[in-house]
């Protein structure tokens, strides 16, 4: 591999990683216009495993805006990002798949109007399909695979018979 090709790959990897970070920030900040702008024109998202919907980026942004309104305190962490370029059939170097784990604590505003402890925490794995466009790398698909969730209240051991 030439140094020029390696530099282009590093640049693409940083751009794709930045796209995933912008996704998390848009969701946490409730910036639904920015969220929509991260997707291709035909981009889709699937939140069904987390109790949500599947649809276009615009439809899902509307659903998220409505359902996350009750949790103004959000800090979405996306880690263990595995980026694979050119995994789609007939790829010319313009697609990528990203698998990444997430932890998403959410809370209501505290009684004094300030931050509150999380009321709800969930975790799982994202599958991002990414496409290079004239406007840079964009999401063509996001699939959320929620693996666990924790609700407030004391933990009780499961009953074993």
Q: What is the 3-state secondary structure (H, E, C) of 107-127?
A: ECCCCCCCCCCCCEEEEEEEE
Which residues have CB under 8 Å from 61's CB, separation 6+?
Answer: 32, 35, 36
3-state secondary structure of 83: strand
State which H helix or E strand residue 142 sits in. Answer: strand 136-150
The pLDDT of residue 133 is 95
Burial of 38 (0-12, 13-18, 19+ CB in 10 A): buried
Backbone φ, ψ for residue 135 (5° rounding): -95, 10
Query: From first to last of its 161 residues, what are the pLDDT tens digits of the chain?
Result: 556 667 888 899 999 999 999 999 999 999 999 999 999 999 999 999 999 999 999 999 999 999 998 888 899 999 999 999 986 555 566 999 999 999 999 988 767 766 667 788 999 999 999 999 999 999 999 999 999 998 766 555 455 54
Q: What is the pTM of this model?
A: 0.85
- 19 closest CA partner among 83, 90, 88: 83
The pLDDT of residue 52 is 94
- 80 closest CA partner among 123, 109, 139, 44: 123
Q: What is the DSSP letter of 106?
A: E
The pLDDT of residue 160 is 52
Fold of the CATH domain 3-150: Nuclear Transport Factor 2; Chain: A, (3.10.450)
The pLDDT of residue 108 is 81
């Amino acid at each position: 591999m030439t140094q020029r090709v390696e530099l282009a790959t590093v640049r693409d990897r940083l751009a794709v990683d930045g796209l995933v970070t912008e996704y998390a920030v848009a969701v946490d900040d409730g910036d639904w216009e920015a969220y929509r702008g991260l997707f291709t024109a035909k981009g889709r998202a699937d939140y069904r495993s987390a109790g949500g919907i599947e649809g276009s980026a615009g439809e899902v942004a509307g659903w998220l805006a409505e359902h996350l309104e009750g949790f103004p305190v959000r800090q979405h962490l996306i880690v263990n990002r595995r980026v694979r370029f050119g995994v789609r059939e007939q790829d010319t170097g313009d697609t990528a798949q990203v698998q990444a784990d997430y932890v998403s604590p959410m809370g209501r505003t505290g009684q004094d109007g300030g931050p509150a402890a999380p009321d709800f925490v969930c975790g799982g794995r994202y599958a991002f399909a990414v496409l290079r466009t004239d406007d840079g790398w964009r999401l063509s698909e996001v699939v959320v695979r929620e693996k666990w969730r924790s609700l407030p209240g004391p933990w009780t051991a499961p009953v074993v018979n």
